[in-house]
């Protein structure tokens, strides 16, 4: 395991929270980290940017899911629709995903 994977795993495990990623009746509960919005993304004290979530690849791989646009992620009472899923590599190994979502219903 490379330093990128180790660093991501440590950050997600210490700062993350439980979320559910799913599509078409298949879902996986996973630990995810959503970085706080930057000051430039705040308007009237409310975040106006896309919802960005960092996850590890092993949790979705175990369920056979590949994150993609139009999947839903649930964060407590709110759910979001993915607009993009960017793979994160540690060398040649897929170690995680950066999920970009919109919504918040």
Q: Are 43 and 97 in contact (CB under 8 A)?
A: no
User: Cα(43)–Cα(15) distance, rounded to whole angstroms?
Assistant: 24
Confidence of residue 75 (pLDDT cuts 50, 70, 90): very high
Query: For residue 19, what are its two tokens?
Result: 């979320």
**87 φ, ψ (degrees, to nearest 5):** -70, 145
pLDDT at 41 over 60: no
The residue assigned the tokens 């180790």 is 6
User: Cα(70)–Cα(68) distance, rounded to whole angstroms?
Assistant: 6
Confidence of residue 26 (pLDDT cuts 50, 70, 90): confident
User: Cα(67)–Cα(10) distance, rounded to whole angstroms?
Assistant: 21
pLDDT tens track for 2-12: 888 898 899 99
Work out the angle at residue 59's Cα, subtended by the Cα atoms of residues 56 and 60, and round it to the nearest 5 degrees: 95
pTM of the model: 0.84
Average pLDDT, stretch 41-63? 78
| 105 vs 72 pLDDT, higher one | 72
């Amino acid at each position: 395991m490379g330093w990128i994977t180790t660093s991501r795993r440590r950050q997600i495990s210490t700062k993350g929270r439980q979320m559910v990623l799913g599509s078409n009746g298949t879902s996986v509960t996973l630990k995810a980290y959503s970085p706080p919005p930057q000051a430039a993304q705040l308007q009237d004290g409310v975040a106006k940017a896309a919802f960005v979530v960092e996850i590890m690849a092993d949790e979705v791989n175990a369920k056979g899911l590949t994150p993609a646009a139009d999947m839903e992620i649930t964060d407590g009472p709110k759910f979001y629709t993915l607009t993009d899923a960017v793979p994160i590599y540690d060398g040649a190994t897929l170690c995680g995903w950066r999920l970009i979502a919109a919504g918040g219903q």
